[in-house]
């Protein structure tokens, strides 16, 4: 099963340990993780259900484009990491 983990910058707001989830897409994996910690949804997804501008999602160490991340297919050993992205200059 894929694993989903949220970085400490997010879990300081809503506790959510690393989870193994049954899901075939990244979007389904996040929805499964949100069932354990519903308050995280608003930090990760916007009002339209898309990945927020200041959130980055990694799959097996590779950052995914926000606009296509949720549709990405997952395999049994995949590792998803969700972090707050840094911006500014």
* Interval 16-25 mean pLDDT: 94
Confidence bin at 3 (pLDDT 50/70/90): very high
Domains and CATH numbers, the chain: 3-84 (3.10.20.30)
Q: How far is CA 44 from CA 1, 2, 61, 76, 77, in A?
A: 21, 18, 18, 23, 22
The pLDDT tens digits of the residues spanning 46-83 come to 999 999 999 999 999 999 999 999 999 999 999 999 99
pLDDT higher than threshold 70 for residue 18: yes
* Interval 30-34 mean pLDDT: 96
Radius of gyration of the chain (CA): 12
Q: What percent of the chain has pLDDT over 70?
A: 97
């Amino acid at each position: 099963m894929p694993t989903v983990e949220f970085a400490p910058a997010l879990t300081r707001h809503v506790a959510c340990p690393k989870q193994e989830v049954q899901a075939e897409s990244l979007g389904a994996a996040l929805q499964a993780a949100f069932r354990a910690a519903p308050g995280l949804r608003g930090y990760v997804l916007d009002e339209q259900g898309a990945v927020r501008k200041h959130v980055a999602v990694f799959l097996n160490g590779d950052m995914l484009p926000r606009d296509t991340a949720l549709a990405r297919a997952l395999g049994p050993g995949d590792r998803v990491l969700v972090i707050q992205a840094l911006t500014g200059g």
